[in-house]
Each structure stands twice: as structure tokens, then as C-alpha cells.
């Protein structure tokens, strides 16, 4: 099994249309918090899965639910992005493709340090956190239990790779915008839209065109 990359980047994906509200909120909100305020400008996930995540427990933090946490993947070019790219999943209402989807990259250790200092709980899953059978952990020392070879694999036809690649890092309620270290986009057109959304922000991370992060 491959070792965890150090430093450990993590990635939150969202539609470029959601960036203005993320910047105005000074950070990323959990699904439950977003639902309480009427939802995002552009929802890109599967509504049935999001609803299920509101009821699924984060088993290492009794009383908490997956939908109360801001989710990150451990890799760009995730399986969820592939589903958005294909646009043919029956539960997917968003049909805009991967082009407008942006990757918000952060550093795991920085977020853990912030969470511990602010009293926010965090956890990670060993597979899709939206699956009832997923296992959860809440210690940096347990990160080696993630299948890092699967996370890095670009061929996820194998069921084992598919499971491991969908591991998630979860942060309770909110993640500050200032912890986003880079924004990755597919093309220059979306890059310009991101730059416009960030024009008035105090924190303006680099916005890089990274086609290798896309299908």
C-alpha cells in the first residue's frame, strides 16, 4: 500500500457560480448549513445522496451526521467529478459537465490545526462517507489506514479502487476561506470567472489551469 503524501492536499469541488457566496461567507459551509439558508447558487451533487448524508452518522463522533460536515476528497479528478463529466447518472439533476467545476485545494494539517484550535470536530472515511457501511476515523495517526494507492489511481474500474478512492476528509460545519491554498480549473474561461469572483476578496489564492485534474 502506498504511503500518505506529506504534506497532504485535500480537495473540495464546487461550481464556479458558488464562489461569490463562499467568499462572502468567508468559507465553506456544510450541506446542512447550506440547506438551512435555501441551498447553494448551483447544486451539483445528487439530491438523494445529500439527503441520505444528513441522516448518516459520523460513527467516530456520536450524534454527528455526515451532512453536518464540509467534505473534501484526497485527490483531484475524483469519481464524483467523473459522474458530473458523464452527466448520465439517473439521480444527477446537474447536467452542466465538468467545465464549470472548480477544485479548492487545502492542506490537511493546516485544517486539522485550525479545527483543533477552534473546537471544530473533524474525521475521515475510508471510503464513500455517503455509504452506510463506511468506516470513520478521527486521528492523524490513523490516516495510514486509507488506501493511498487507490486514491492515486486514475483507473477506478476495480471495485476495491473505486471504494478506496472515494475516501473523504470531513470538517464540522465550516472551513475558513483563508485555508484554501489554490483553486484549480479546467480552462482559461473558468479561470477568468474565478478571478472575477475573487476580485474583492481579502484572501486571493492562486488560480491555476490544471487540465490534468479533469477528464
Q: What residues act catalytically?
A: 53, 168
Q: Which of 12, 17, 51, 18 is nearest to 35 (CA)?
A: 51
The owner of cell 474500474 is: 157
CB distance 54 to 152 below 8 Å = no
CB distance 96 to 18 below 8 Å = no
Question: What grid cell was written down for 58?
Answer: 459520523
Question: What grid cell was written down for 96?
Answer: 452542466
Torsion angles phi and psi, residue 41, rounded to 5: -60, -40
Amino acid at each position: 500500500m502506498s504511503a500518505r503524501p506529506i504534506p497532504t492536499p485535500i480537495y473540495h469541488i464546487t461550481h464556479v457560480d458558488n464562489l461569490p457566496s463562499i467568499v462572502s461567507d468567508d468559507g465553506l459551509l456544510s450541506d446542512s448549513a447550506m440547506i438551512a439558508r435555501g441551498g447553494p447558487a448551483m447544486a451539483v451533487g445528487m439530491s438523494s445522496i445529500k439527503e441520505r448524508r444528513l441522516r448518516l452518522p459520523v460513527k467516530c463522533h456520536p450524534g454527528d451526521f455526515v451532512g453536518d460536515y464540509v467534505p473534501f476528497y484526497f485527490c483531484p479528478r475524483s469519481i464524483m467529478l467523473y459522474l458530473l463529466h458523464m452527466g448520465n447518472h439517473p439521480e444527477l439533476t446537474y447536467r452542466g459537465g465538468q467545465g464549470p467545476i472548480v477544485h479548492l485545494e487545502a492542506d490537511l494539517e493546516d485544517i486539522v490545526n485550525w479545527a483543533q484550535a477552534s473546537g471544530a470536530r473533524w474525521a475521515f472515511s475510508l471510503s464513500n462517507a455517503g455509504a452506510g457501511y463506511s468506516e470513520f476515523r478521527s486521528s492523524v495517526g490513523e490516516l495510514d489506514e486509507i488506501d493511498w494507492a487507490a486514491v492515486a489511481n486514475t483507473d477506478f474500474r476495480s471495485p476495491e479502487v473505486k471504494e478506496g478512492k472515494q475516501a473523504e476528509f470531513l470538517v464540522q460545519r465550516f472551513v475558513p476561506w483563508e485555508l484554501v491554498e489554490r483553486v484549480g480549473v479546467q480552462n482559461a474561461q473558468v479561470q477568468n470567472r474565478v478571478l472575477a469572483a475573487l476580485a474583492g476578496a481579502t484572501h486571493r489564492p492562486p488560480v491555476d489551469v490544471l487540465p490534468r485534474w479533469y477528464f
